[in-house]
Amino acid sequence: MARINFGGTWEEVTTAEEFTLEKARRALADETVAVIGYGVQGPGQSLNLRDNGIRVIVGQREGTGSWDKAVADGFVPGETLFPIAEAARRGTVVQYLLSDAGQKALWPTLAPHLTPGKALYFSHGFSIAYRDRTGVVPPPDIDVILVAPKGSGRTVRTNFLEGSGINASYAVFQDATGRAEERTLALGIGIGSGYLFRTTFEQEVYSDLVGERGVLMGCLAGVMEAQYDLLRRHGHSPSEAFNETVEELTQSLIRLVAENGMDWMYGNCSTTAQRGALDWKGRFREAVAPVFDALYASVVSGEETAIVLDVNSAPDYRERLEKELAAIRASEMWRAGAAVRALRPEKRLRPAGK
């Protein structure tokens, strides 16, 4: 492991140079990785593992769109694609990649096939950290491990194809075989991680739920809506309001942050933008700090978990979700966004046939 200084705090991380793909292949040579679920994380992880020479099968309900997608991706029914219970029976490593609510619902089907010596793998700490609510209590004679890519399932795959990889956290909840950590790191490298940092199931789920509800999605969407609405109330056009709220952020500034950090982005903006950003960022931080305190408390207490399991398990969840997403899609802000995206230079200037 390498010791890296992250902002003044030293952490041990495992890189792909230290735990090589060849080492991962040797560690998994006698394993059959059964990927349960072919929705969000399943496709990227299973395809990357397969492309990296790891033996992979997929477990998915027949007659679903996800089953058809797995077939389109080259998994063969009866050979590398099976119903969930059969895939779990065949796998020595069972990657449980259903939704959190789906993991709770399917646990009675999966559990009987977790025989001694197998590994149960998660990419989210939810079911184990909140096992008193989910009922996901693994038997004591299997390894229980986690690799959590820091990105969507789509990014896991696209980054792999581009050769850049994706960072991931990893954890061992239960080591029954003495090989749990080796299995975890091998799988992390196998799915295309550039480096892996150690965590726990609890810490992973706390940070993940806060991040999704906070800066990564909930906070970002809410702040964008607030600024867009403000500009529109003061007479700015939809195009101007969207460009100043979303387009410049996503197409220019965030790329500068990703390249070299926030200070570098500030240093490559106008002096007017620099001064204003430095003067106002503290006020925004102070304004949202109490909201983040409340959010973290809600996550740790299990309140967010109860909401997720209750709402996502409802029979009409998909219909209700589509109504919520349709409302966002139909809002003026995101209708303006669709028009702006269609006018991006790369779309208009692309050669014919591309």
> What is the structure's pLDDT at 354?
39
Quick: pLDDT tens for 285-300.
999 999 999 999 999 9
* Residue 124: active-site member: yes
pLDDT of 266 strictly over 60: yes
> What is the structure's pLDDT at 353?
45
Quick: pLDDT tens for 218-252.
999 999 999 999 999 999 999 999 999 999 999 99
What domains can you pick out in the chain, each with its CATH number?
Answer: 2-199 (3.40.50.720), 211-348 (1.10.1040.10)
326-343 average pLDDT score: 95
CA–CA dist 47, 157 (Å, integer): 8
Higher-confidence position of 50 and 152? 50
Work out the number of other CB atoms within 10 angstroms of the CB of residue 64.
12
Residue tagged active-site, from 113, 124, 234, 236: 124
Q: Specify whether the CB–CB gap between 27 and 181 falls below 8 A.
A: no
pLDDT band at 185 (very low <50, low <70, confident <90, very high): very high
> What is the structure's pLDDT at 203?
96
Expressed in angstroms, the distance from the first to the final Cα of the chain is 44
Query: What is the dihedral sign for C-alpha 239, 243, 245, 246?
Result: positive
pLDDT of 351 strictly over 90: no
- Cα-based angle 313, 314, 316 (whole degrees, multiple of 5): 130
> What is the structure's pLDDT at 347?
57
Q: Quote the pTM value.
A: 0.87
Q: DSSP secondary-structure letter at 113? A: G
pLDDT of 348 strictly over 90: no
Name the pairing type of β-strands 56-59 and 33-36. parallel
- Provide the mean pLDDT of the chain: 94
152-173 average pLDDT score: 92
Q: DSSP secondary-structure letter at 34? A: E
Nearest to 49 by CA among 201, 197, 183: 183
pLDDT of 176 strictly over 80: yes
The percent of residues above 90 in pLDDT, for the chain, comes to 86
pLDDT band at 352 (very low <50, low <70, confident <90, very high): very low
* Identity at 256, one-letter amino acid code: L
182-204 average pLDDT score: 95
Stretch among 27-31, 85-89, 163-167, 271-275 having the lowest mean pLDDT:
163-167
CA–CA dist 205, 154 (Å, integer): 20
> What is the structure's pLDDT at 323?
96
136-146 average pLDDT score: 98
